[in-house]
């Protein structure tokens, strides 16, 4: 099934749509560099990276906003984001400055107390041919594409570049073309800065032109020189990985995209990444037979110094339904009876099954189902996952009802872990859809999925699309602490705080605060659009702020037929709302 694609000349099909320079730059005076020590031990009052810290817990030790005070929150300021598109942004705060990335690789620096714009950078992107629909959509789904280090903002772009900006004024320090955008490669998630390296993961690995390689890479943070790369679908050092693709040679493999920024353990210099589905989605089309197609739907532990694989664990082998498992990996340390346990916990994929692994060895510890799912039949005591083979299509057009759907259980919306209550809070969606293989021509700029998805519907007997699940976490089990169900789907990531609260929101435009212990909603506000992105919190001059992104949400629109009484806004509404307590 080898596909030969004529490479389109970039210059012949592109037009500049923006200027790669700060559109407005008054500059930041006396900016304090973000040191490696600060990244390893983030100040409580700041939010320096994607999920607050290397462990990806999405937890803040701030507690001024708590169960007693949250009802007094008032709007401090709001900011309309610079570009329409899918709302999956992750604001960062350092030195009283909020750094905000948005779709099409626009970066803004705002005064975090007032929301006043300091500078804006607009990346030069190309106007793609209209037929390259999937690739063009990549620019509209930028998640958390920036990181902070020293006096720099590191940006990963939709045209597969790393761009380093001066944090003071947004001007380019250096940029590097990492992979060929003409083939379909792009960045949709940002990097993690570790051990003097920019650790990043490429997307676009399900586009026709990118067969044979999907990569996690390290670049020198000062020069941009590549230090190492790891190919998630072709590992010649592992015969089991090669055999798992059956007769499919590396040059005819697709998928294995690391869709979510990885975690990092400085103690062992290890980074942990989740990997997505194989392509084409059906084994009937991709030709892999009953092979497990490693390292798709897996957790990878990589040595940051060398890029060598330390261990892997596959959460869903032989995926036939685009139920990829790339979402956040959370690092948890617990001391029990004097013994330190180093866990990795995650709800990695769309079937909504929670897993705990020993993060030093990759040993399976436990798993727990959350939403209705029918693709995993059982999981052995050693962690071997057995799929429901009755749901594998043997002919083009053969249809099966799959739960959860391509749009959830668990999507990109990140869960959070609270050491205060030793609980893992996960935003989920109940949904099913039919899946059938199709015979599809693979064309430039488009995905090689080769399946047809039916409408998203609720599972039988379920009336609420949204589920907030709290799991009590320990090394031996993950039991349900509480559940909160709602008609609309969950559309944002969630934030846990030392104030005993969890913040998140839904398609009905409601941002909520749940009591970590009970699941009771203790505060709610209706905003302008579905709650989105990654809520976060910070403190300036003794005042704690809560930042809530809103805007257009695929997670809302894909299952909106399940709650027709809740209208979705017709515009994108992409904004940031920032709340704080009134001064006493």
**DSSP track, 261-304:** PPEEETTTTEEEEEB--EESSSHHHH--TT---TTTTEEEEEET
Strand partners, 148: 153
Confidence band for 428, pLDDT divided at 50, 70 and 90 = very high
Asked if residue 18 has pLDDT above 80, the reply is no
What does the pLDDT read at residue 520? Answer: 98
Burial class (CB in 10 A: 0-12, 13-18, 19+), 2: exposed
Closest CA to 259 of 324, 320, 179, 199: 324
Where, residue-wise, is CATH 2.40.10.480 in the chain?
Answer: 6-31+91-142+144-171
Q: Count Cα atoms within 13 angstroms, Cβ side, for 395.
A: 2
Is the bond preceding 409 in cis, omega lying within 30 degrees of 0? yes
Q: What is the pLDDT of residues 215-248, one digit of tens each?
A: 999 999 999 999 999 999 999 999 999 999 999 9
Confidence band for 203, pLDDT divided at 50, 70 and 90 = very high
Q: What is the pLDDT of residues 93-117, one digit of tens each?
A: 999 999 999 988 999 999 999 999 9
What does the pLDDT read at residue 23? Answer: 62
Cα distance between residue 320 and residue 438, in whole Å: 12
Per the prediction, the chain carries an average pLDDT of: 93
Cα distance between residue 392 and residue 399, in whole Å: 9
What does the pLDDT read at residue 5? Answer: 37
453 vs 408, residue with greater confidence: 453
CA 298 to chain centre: 15
| Dihedral angle, C-alpha 405, 407, 409, 410, nearest 10 ° | 140
Q: What are phi and psi of 181, to 5 degrees?
A: -65, -30
Least confident of 17-26, 228-237, 435-444, 499-508: 17-26
Kindly indicate whether the domain formed by 6-31+91-142+144-171 is annotated with CATH number 3.40.50.720.
Answer: no
Asked if residue 197 has pLDDT above 50, the reply is yes
3-state helix, strand, coil in the chain (%, to 5): 10, 40, 50
Q: What residues contact 458, with CB distance under 8 A and at least 6 apart?
A: 430, 431, 432, 465, 562
What does the pLDDT read at residue 6? Answer: 33
Q: What is the pLDDT of residues 265-299, one digit of tens each?
A: 999 999 999 999 999 999 999 999 999 999 999 99
Tell me 353's DSSP state: -
Strand order in the sheet with 21-25: 21-25, 117-122, 106-111, 97-102, 92-94
Asked if residue 521 has pLDDT above 80, the reply is yes
Q: What is the pLDDT of residues 32-65, one digit of tens each?
A: 999 999 999 999 999 999 999 999 999 999 999 9
Asked if residue 90 has pLDDT above 70, the reply is yes
H/E run at residue 475: none
What does the pLDDT read at residue 415? Answer: 98
Q: What is the pLDDT of residues 109-153, one digit of tens each?
A: 999 999 999 999 999 988 888 899 888 888 888 889 999 999 999
What does the pLDDT read at residue 3? Answer: 38
Here the tokens at position 217 are: 């890479």
CATH superfamily of 42-89+327-371+408-430+465-584: Quinoprotein alcohol dehydrogenase-like superfamily (2.140.10.10)
Q: Residue 542: which region, alpha, beta or left (left: phi > 0; alpha: psi -120 to 50)?
A: left
Burial class (CB in 10 A: 0-12, 13-18, 19+), 504: buried
What does the pLDDT read at residue 27? Answer: 76
Here the tokens at position 331 are: 């690092």
Specify whether the CB–CB gap between 53 and 42 falls below 8 A: yes
Tell me 41's DSSP state: S
What does the pLDDT read at residue 24? Answer: 58
Closest CA to 410 of 481, 316, 336, 317: 316
What does the pLDDT read at residue 12? Answer: 30
Burial 139-153 (b: 16+ CB within 10 A, else e): bbbbbbbbbbbbebb
Where, residue-wise, is CATH 2.140.10.10 in the chain?
Answer: 42-89+327-371+408-430+465-584
Here the tokens at position 377 are: 């039949």
Q: What is the pLDDT of residues 458-504, one digit of tens each?
A: 999 999 999 999 999 999 999 999 999 999 999 999 999 999 999 99
Which residue matches tokens 């197609």?
A: 293
Confidence band for 387, pLDDT divided at 50, 70 and 90 = very high
What does the pLDDT read at residue 256? Answer: 98
With a pLDDT cut of 90, the percent of the chain lying above it is 86
Asked if residue 8 has pLDDT above 50, the reply is no
Asked if residue 19 has pLDDT above 90, the reply is no
């Amino acid at each position: 099934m080898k596909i030969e694609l004529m490479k389109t000349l970039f210059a012949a099909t592109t037009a500049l749509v923006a200027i790669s320079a700060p559109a407005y730059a008054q500059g930041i005076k006396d900016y304090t560099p973000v040191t490696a020590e600060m990244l390893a031990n983030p100040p409580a009052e700041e939010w320096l990276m994607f999920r607050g810290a290397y462990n990806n817990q999405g937890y803040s030790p701030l507690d001024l906003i708590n169960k007693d005070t949250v009802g007094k929150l008032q709007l401090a300021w709001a900011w309309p984001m610079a570009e329409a598109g899918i709302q999956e942004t992750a604001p960062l705060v350092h030195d009283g400055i909020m750094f905000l990335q948005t779709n099409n690789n626009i970066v803004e620096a705002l005064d975090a107390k007032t929301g006043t714009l300091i500078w804006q950078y607009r990346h030069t992107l190309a106007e793609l041919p209209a037929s390259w629909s999937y690739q063009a959509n990549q620019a509209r789904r930028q998640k958390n594409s920036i990181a902070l280090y020293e006096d720099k903002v590191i940006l990963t772009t939709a045209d597969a570049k790393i761009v380093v900006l001066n944090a003071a004024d947004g001007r380019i320090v250096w940029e590097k073309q990492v992979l060929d955008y003409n083939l379909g490669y792009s960045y949709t998630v940002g990097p993690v800065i570790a051990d003097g390296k920019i650790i990043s993961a490429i997307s676009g690995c399900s586009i026709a032109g990118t067969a044979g390689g999907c990569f996690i890479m390290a670049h020198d943070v000062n020069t941009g020189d590549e230090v190492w790369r790891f190919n998630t679908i072709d590992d010649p050092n592992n015969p089991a990985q090669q055999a798992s693709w059956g007769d499919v040679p590396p040059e005819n493999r697709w998928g294995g995209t690391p869709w979510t920024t990885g975690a990092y353990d400085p103690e062992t210099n290890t980074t942990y990444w989740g990997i997505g589905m194989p392509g084409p989605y059906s084994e009937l089309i991709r030709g892999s037979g009953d092979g497990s197609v490693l390292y798709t739907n897996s957790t990878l532990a990589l040595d940051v110094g060398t890029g060598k694989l330390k261990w892997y664990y596959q959460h869903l082998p032989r995926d036939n339904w685009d139920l990829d498992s790339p979402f956040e990996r959370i690092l948890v340390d617990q001391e029990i009876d004097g013994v330190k346990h180093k866990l990795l916990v995650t709800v990695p994929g769309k079937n909504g099954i929670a897993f705990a692994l020993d993060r030093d060895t990759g040993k399976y510890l436990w798993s727990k189902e959350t939403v209705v799912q029918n693709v995993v039949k059982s999981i052995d005591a050693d962690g071997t996952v057995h799929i429901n083979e009755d749901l594998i299509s043997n002919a083009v057009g053969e249809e099966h009802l799959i739960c959860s759907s391509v749009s959830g259980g668990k999507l990109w919306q990140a869960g959070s872990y609270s050491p205060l209550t030793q609980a893992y809070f996960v935003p989920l969606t109940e949904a099913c859809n039919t899946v059938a293989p199709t015979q599809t021509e693979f064309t430039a700029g488009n995905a090689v999925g080769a399946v047809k998805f039916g409408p998203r519907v609720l599972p039988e007997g379920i009336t609420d699309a949204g589920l907030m699940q709290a799991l009590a976490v320990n090394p031996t089990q993950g039991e349900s602490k509480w559940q909160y169900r709602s008609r609309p789907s969950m559309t944002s990531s969630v934030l846990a705080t030392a104030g005993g609260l969890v913040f998140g929101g839904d398609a009905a435009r409601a941002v909520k605060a749940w009591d970590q212990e009970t699941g009771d909603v203790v505060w709610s506000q209706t905003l302008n659009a579905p709650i989105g992105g990654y809520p976060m919190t910070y403190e300036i001059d003794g005042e704690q702020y809560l930042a809530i992104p809103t805007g257009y949400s695929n997670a809302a629109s894909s299952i909106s037929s399940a709650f027709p009484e809740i209208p979705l806004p017709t515009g994108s509404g992409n904004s940031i709302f920032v709340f704080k307590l009134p001064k006493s």
